[in-house]
Amino acid sequence: MIAPAELVRSLGGTFATALGIDLRSMDCGERFKWLIAAIHCGTRISEQLATRAWREFGARGILAPRRLIDTGWDGLVPIFDAGGYVRYDFKTATKLLAVCTALLRDYSGDLDDLHSFAADPLDLEARLKALGKGIGDTAVGIFLRELRGISSKAAPSLSPLAQTAAQSMGYLRHGRLAAAHAPERLQQIWVADGQSPVTFAAFEAALVREGLRLRREEFRHGSSGRETI
């Protein structure tokens, strides 16, 4: 069984880091950037297209709630299109405007305030979903997954992709009981490898990358599945 740190070195760490986002920063704007990226990635498109679209937003300097609202629906759709995010451009533009409006209205545009108001991990997930129609389990799971170890309230279920990879590589056993305690078990394995709990999200992200590879192999052999991270 490959050591977790070696897996991260081989496959890469968090998706946020790959985008140049520092989730441990004191700047709450970094976490907002990651929320927008998670929403981009939460649809049935490839990671590459979602990343291209997010970078188009960054290039135009509109990765902030008020800037997104000021850009408006008619301004957002062409940005999605420029990034190749054509299939879901209308729907996701509407979704982002709803999220930004709710975040400004209820939390002064500050995701850290939303986090502070949340009573526990389940309440945090519920508050994120309440930001806008269509912000579902997939986008929220992607967002919170990379905050695991940084925030005690970030405790989403293990990604099915990471679960599949962890079982395939021998980190986890198969079965319902093992699945229920999967995040805790993987965190124990990460720390036992001499790594900090704060950086655990890098291990989970590497497992997601391996899970994506396994899913692509299945797809080539006739299976189908979502391409979200």
The pLDDT value given to residue 130: 97
| Phi, psi dihedral angles at 198 (to 5 degrees) | -65, -25
The yes-or-no verdict on residue 226 having pLDDT over 80 is no
pLDDT of residue 225: 54
Among 75-89, 127-141, 163-177, 188-202, the minimum mean pLDDT is found in 75-89
Share of the chain above pLDDT 70, in %: 95
CB neighbour list of residue 84: distance below 8 Å, 6 or more residues apart: 49, 52, 53
Residues 9-61: tens digit of each pLDDT: 999 999 999 999 999 999 999 999 999 999 988 877 778 888 998 999 999 99
Kindly report, residue by residue over 129-176, the tens digit of the pLDDT.
Answer: 999 987 899 999 999 999 999 999 999 999 999 999 999 999 998 876
Look at 174 and 88; give whichever has higher pLDDT.
174
Q: What are the domain boundaries of the chain? A: 4-15+158-220, 24-145
- Matching CATH number, 24-145, of 3.40.50.720, 1.10.340.30, 3.40.50.1100, 3.30.1360.120: 1.10.340.30
Residue 210: pLDDT band with limits 50, 70, 90: very high
User: Residue 136 half-sphere exposure, CB side, CA atoms within 13 Å?
Assistant: 7
CA 16/CA 166 separation, integer angstroms: 21
* pLDDT of 83: 76
223 falls in which pLDDT band (50, 70, 90)? low
Mean pLDDT to the nearest integer, 70-96:
86
Long-range contact pairs involving 120-125 (C-beta distance under 8 Å, separation at least 24): 120/153, 121/153, 121/154, 121/155, 121/156, 124/153, 124/154, 125/156
pLDDT given for residue 85 in this prediction: 77
Percent of the chain with pLDDT over 90: 74
Q: Of how many residues is the chain composed?
A: 229
At residue 148, what are phi and psi to the nearest 5 degrees? Answer: -65, 130
Residue 222 has a pLDDT of 67
pLDDT at 118 over 90: yes
Q: Residue 59 and residue 110: Cα distance in Å, rounded?
A: 22
Residue 121's pLDDT band (boundaries 50, 70, 90)? very high
